[in-house]
Amino acid sequence: MRPGMSGAPRLLLPRLFLPRLFLAVAGALLLLPLPGWIGGVHGAFAVIAILAVAAYGLDIVVSDLGEVSLAHTVFFAAGAYATGLLATRAGAGSWVTLPAALLAGLAIALLLGLITLSLREFVFSLVTYAASVVAAAVAHNWNVLGGSDGVSGIPTLDLSIGPLRLAARNDAELWPFALALLLVTLYAVRQFRRSRLGAMAMMVHLNPRLATMSGIDVRRVRLRVFLLSAPFSAAAGWLYAYQRAYVGPDLFETYFLVLMLTAVVLVGRRLLLGPLLGTALIIGQERFLSFGGDINAILLGGALILSLAVLPSGGTSGGTGGLAGGLAGLLERLRPRAPDAAAPPAEGRSVPQP
């Protein structure tokens, strides 16, 4: 399958969201007191920021590399478990648990990346899915990881350096840290998309043959992007462990997997703010407009189906898809159509490979 680049939504939206530096700084400063203004919803905001960071790890694999990794919950959980175990059993501080969490995520990603080096599409996805099943089985059964009970009693976040007090005893104090992690992540993802590796990833994604002919080592690029994606999700797990003060095998439940995937595709792919808005919509619904776990699950799964199978121009990989793609498609339809700009037939998009 060779997706055609559908131009319209890509032109329209990234420009809209293009973060000018001062706008970004002003926006971030405005976000800081926002949960207080709304009425003490720091917990929800912190969770949105944390899970959005986890989703950004998945985002660069799904949107840029074009593969669906189902193992990012494992990286997320690895970060959380490393933090929980070190903080409770070894009394490690937050400056120690952070690199440990990143390393844990990276190590698992390296192992999995090497195994799946030459696998693509659904085989890649199934092996990563199987990896999360195995990880869940290990977490449930291995006493070192706390078994089914998990690890509880994780101390609060404390990043104090010398006289500088940087600690978070509650959600209100944790929110600035979550926001900071989110901003660092946003900046890193933006820089990645502008980097050589980011460009190579897109080329490998959209035209692997051309990439190979241009002298790009496809496997190397795939492995490097996969490795790069893991620390984001692991860092999110690090902060999540402090936020919840508990780490358990529930981190491997499909909920987190579907949440991350939906966050990535709901608003639209390759939009810098897409996963953040997606996470905000999902967590916002769960926290402020909840209908109970079962209906929430139906809504979340339904949103995933909607954004890929129902909304227009949710093309495979080149296009944006999601709500933004749907909106762009709608605008396109409302606009008077120029005679030469007839939409390409849907089936013309997939050019069979020889």
Partner 1 sequence: MNLVQQLINGLIIGHAYALIAIGWTVLLGVARLVNFGHGQMYMLAAFVTWWGVAGLGLPYPLAILLAMAGGVLLGLVMQLTMLRLTFAQDLVSIMIVTLGFGHVMRGLAGLLFGGNPQVLETPLSWIDFEIAGAWVTAQDLLIVVAAIAVFLLLRLVLERGALGRTARMVAEDPKLAQLGGIDVRRVYLAVFAFEGAAVALAAALVAPRTPILTSIGFEEVIITFVVVVLGGIGSIGGSYLAGIGLGLFTALFGGFVSPAYATSAAFGVLILVLVLRPGGLALGAKGGRA
330 binds partner 1 (CB under 8 A): no
Instruction: State whether residue 170 is helix, strand or coil.
Output: coil
Site size for partner 1 (CB under 8 A) = 64
Q: Is 350 in the site for partner 1 (CB under 8 A)?
A: yes
| One residue of 17, 19, 140, 197 binding partner 1 per CB under 8 A | 140
CA distances from 263 to 2, 175, 202, 207 (A): 24, 20, 20, 26
Among the listed residues 3, 14, 176, 284, the single contact to partner 1 using CB under 8 A: 3
Residue 62 in contact with residue 205, Cβ under 8 Å? no
- At residue 168, the 3 state secondary structure works out as strand
**CB-CB contact of 223 with 82 (8 Å):** no
Which of 71, 50, 47 minimizes the C-alpha distance to 252?
A: 71
Applying CB under 8 A, the span of 7-15, 26-34, 113-121, 333-341 interacting with partner 1 comes to 113-121
CA-wise closest residue to 171 among 296, 305, 35: 35
The residue to which tokens 């800081």 are assigned = 32
DSSP state of 153: -
Q: Which residue in the set 94, 185, 233, 262 belongs to the binding site for partner 1 (CB under 8 A)?
A: 262
Q: Considering only the stretches 48-56, 124-132, 152-160, 323-331, report the one whose residues sit in contact with partner 1 under the rule CB under 8 A.
A: 124-132
Contacts of 97 by beta carbon, 8 Å cutoff, 6+ apart: 82, 83, 86, 87, 238, 241
Looking at the Cβ atoms of 35 and 319, the one nearer to partner 1 is: 319
Pick from 314, 318, 325, 326: which binds partner 1 (CB under 8 A)? Answer: 314
Closer CB to partner 1, 79 or 314, in the complex = 314
Distance CA 183, CA 190 (A): 11
According to the binding rule CB under 8 A, does residue 261 interact with partner 1?
A: yes
Q: Binding of partner 1 at residue 300 (CB under 8 A)?
A: yes
Q: Considering the rule CB under 8 A, would residue 184 count as an interface residue with partner 1?
A: no
Q: Report the alpha-carbon distance of residue 255 to residue 150 in Å, rounded.
A: 18
- According to the binding rule CB under 8 A, does residue 110 interact with partner 1? no
Interface with partner 1 by CB under 8 A: which range of 64-72, 184-192, 224-232, 282-290? 64-72
From candidates 87, 104, 239, 257, binder to partner 1 by CB under 8 A: 257
Beta strands in 227-273 (DSSP E): 246-247
Residues that bind partner 1 (CB under 8 A): 1, 3, 66-68, 70, 115, 118-127, 129-131, 133-134, 136-138, 140-141, 208, 218-219, 222, 254-255, 257-258, 261-262, 265, 293-305, 308-310, 314-317, 346-347, 349-350, 352-353
